[in-house]
Amino acid sequence: RSAQAADGAAGAGSGTGGGPAVAAPEPFTVRMPTLPVLSPISTLGGQDLYYVTIKEVAREILPGVQTKVLTYDGHFPGPVLRARSGRKVVVRHRNTLTMPVAVHLHGGSVTPENDGSPMDTVAPGSARTYTYPNQQPHAPLWFHDHAHHMESEHVYRGLSGSYLLTDEVESALPLPAGQYEVPIALRDARFDEAGRLVYQMDDVFGRTTVLANGRPTPYFPVAARKYRFRLLNSSNMRFFQLRLSDGGQMIQIGTDGGLLERPFTTDTVGLSPAERADVVIDFSRYPVGTKIVLENTLGPGTPEQVGKVLRFDVVRTAADPSRVPDVLRTLPPLAPATVQRSIVLSMDEDGRQEPRGLMDGQVWDPARIDQTIAHGSSEIWTVTNANKVVPHNFHMHLVQFRVLERNGAPAGPAESGLKDTVRLFPGETVKLHATFDTYRGTYVYHCHLLDHSAMGMMANFRVR
């Protein structure tokens, strides 16, 4: 049903079709790069200090073509910052663009001043220091631009990166590590005939080139052993539903907020924009020489265009001391909830005006507090996508929540861990449990289809 829903959603997009596009290259002609890891400039004083320059550069995305992109320190896609729970990270971002930016640590528990909130921007030519206390368990966080109305174009043009926070619980596990732990950022894009990135708001149909770590349908040589892939959907609007071309099993071990309590095997992994999945694939079942394609079964776009994501080429054997234990972590019990709220997301497309993104019938107003929450409390939020064809998802800053129910039924295994973003196909309802016991202040919640949040599908909550 989800595939149908998202295909239907494609039909409802208001993106225009026009403009020639460069044809996607033959698949599997370029190698998938691994993502660079940022190095701190200092590790003194019990904290890791990073300097990042936000700048426009040209990079090869399509083979043989230079494309202008917006980057953190020149990397497309963005780099990986590795952090550890209990150890502070300080990042000084210098904005050399002509537009304001805001750097948000997605999934991070940080004070409001360090949240990269939409109106709290870094002016062109200036710098801003963000402090991340990392007083939270391990999780595959990521960072991206959040300057209001510009976040969708900025992220589309390249401003996102991974922030892999680890802790003792995670690092004690015998999971695949080192070169066998591979972060992969998936997204889509649209190129014109000169190979430039084309950005149009709500361009659901146009973005039909799928990139894995910044390259179109690449191949990735692997050894015949287990790998841990840290998947991030950094697309503005595309939902992925991933499978292996031979129908082979994957072991999902984690999600947005880190490891699940227990791994489970599956032949498909779904990722809406901003969602993460931690997946182990055991290539030891394949003889050397085997080529397995990671496929995507969701539109928009024809299967030709968007059905192939990347190809794993099994090229050698290797020893494999790694293991996926039956128990990965223990999650804290759910505190009793004292408040219930209902939230409705919708795209207003009555045709009388520019489409507006609505949260409870209203466009985001930075000055309006939409929900006031007592510090220390736990709440249940029932969140509904009121649209009939447009998919959304739902993301809250500050907290990792639990998904109690989806459409009245218990959430499935992929949603059994800590989450910060949850899919909402048309007409769907999820019931979430969140505890607000960390920082006080005002934060946003929004649809993470960034073209939608840029159109106003966002609201404020205040913890006090």
Parallel/antiparallel/unpaired status of strands 219-224 and 308-317: parallel
449 belongs to the binding site for Cu ion (CB under 5 A): yes
CB of 77 to ligand C2O, least distance (A): 15
392 binds, among Cu ion, ligand C2O, none (CB under 5 to 8 A by kind): Cu ion
106 binds, among Cu ion, ligand C2O, none (CB under 5 to 8 A by kind): ligand C2O
Question: Which chain residues interact with ligand C2O by CB under 6 A?
Answer: 104, 106, 144, 146, 274, 395, 397, 444, 446, 448
* Cβ pair 130, 81 in contact under 8 A: no
CB of 382 to ligand C2O, least distance (A): 20
d(CA 429, CA 190) in angstroms, rounded, equals 31
444 binds, among ligand C2O, Cu ion, none (CB under 5 to 8 A by kind): ligand C2O
Contacts of 367 (CB under 8 A, 6+ apart): none
Amino acid found at 24: A
d(CA 267, CA 270) in angstroms, rounded, equals 10
Q: Which stretch binds Cu ion (CB under 5 A): 74-82, 111-119, 266-274, 442-450?
A: 442-450
CB of 68 to Cu ion, least distance (A): 27
CB of 405 to ligand C2O, least distance (A): 23
Enter the DSSP assignment of 252: E
237 binds, among Cu ion, ligand C2O, none (CB under 5 to 8 A by kind): none
Q: Measured from the CB atom, is 73 or 202 closer to Cu ion?
A: 202
Residue with nearest beta carbon to ligand C2O? 106
Q: Measured from the CB atom, is 191 or 436 closer to ligand C2O?
A: 436
Q: Measured from the CB atom, is 148 or 402 closer to ligand C2O?
A: 148
Q: Measured from the CB atom, is 175 or 277 closer to ligand C2O?
A: 277
213: left (phi over 0), alpha (psi -120 to 50) or beta: left
Q: Measured from the CB atom, is 30 or 444 closer to ligand C2O?
A: 444
Q: Could you tell me which of 78, 74, 104 has the C-alpha nearest to residue 91? A: 104
452 binds, among ligand C2O, Cu ion, none (CB under 5 to 8 A by kind): Cu ion
Q: Tell me the torsion sign for CA atoms 451, 455, 457, 459.
A: positive
452 belongs to the binding site for Cu ion (CB under 5 A): yes
CB of 6 to Cu ion, least distance (A): 12
Q: Could you tell me which of 81, 86, 93 has the C-alpha nearest to residue 46? A: 86
CA 418 from centroid of its chain's CA atoms: 14
Q: Tell me the torsion sign for CA atoms 185, 188, 194, 198.
A: negative
Q: Measured from the CB atom, is 228 or 448 closer to ligand C2O?
A: 448
CB of 277 to ligand C2O, least distance (A): 16
447 belongs to the binding site for Cu ion (CB under 5 A): yes
406 binds, among Cu ion, ligand C2O, none (CB under 5 to 8 A by kind): none
Q: What is the 3-state secondary structure (H, E, C) of 14-65?
A: CCCCCCCECCCCCCCCCECCCCCECCCCECHHHEEEEEEEEEEEEEECCCCC
Binding residues among 358-397 for Cu ion as defined by CB under 5 A: 392
CB of 275 to Cu ion, least distance (A): 14
Q: Measured from the CB atom, is 309 or 449 closer to Cu ion?
A: 449
Q: Measured from the CB atom, is 12 or 22 closer to Cu ion?
A: 12
432 binds, among ligand C2O, Cu ion, none (CB under 5 to 8 A by kind): none
Q: Which residue has the tokens 């640590």?
A: 105
Q: Measured from the CB atom, is 38 or 444 closer to ligand C2O?
A: 444
Q: Measured from the CB atom, is 71 or 453 closer to Cu ion?
A: 453
243 binds, among ligand C2O, Cu ion, none (CB under 5 to 8 A by kind): none
**Burial grade of 66 (CB within 10 A; 0-12, 13-18, 19 or more):** middle
175 binds, among Cu ion, ligand C2O, none (CB under 5 to 8 A by kind): none
Q: What is the dihedral of CA 364, 368, 374, 376, to 10 degrees?
A: 50
Amino acid found at 412: G
Show the binding pattern over residues 92-111: x = contacts Cu ion (CB under 5 A), - = does not.
--------------------
How many residues interact with Cu ion (rule CB under 5 A)? 4
d(CA 375, CA 338) in angstroms, rounded, equals 12
447 binds, among ligand C2O, Cu ion, none (CB under 5 to 8 A by kind): Cu ion
Give the C-alpha distances (Å, rounded to integers) separating 198 from 148, 189, 205, 287, 315. Answer: 20, 8, 12, 41, 36
Tokens matching residue 435: 């505890």
* Cβ pair 236, 451 in contact under 8 A: yes
Note the residues at the interface with Cu ion (CB under 5 A).
392, 447, 449, 452
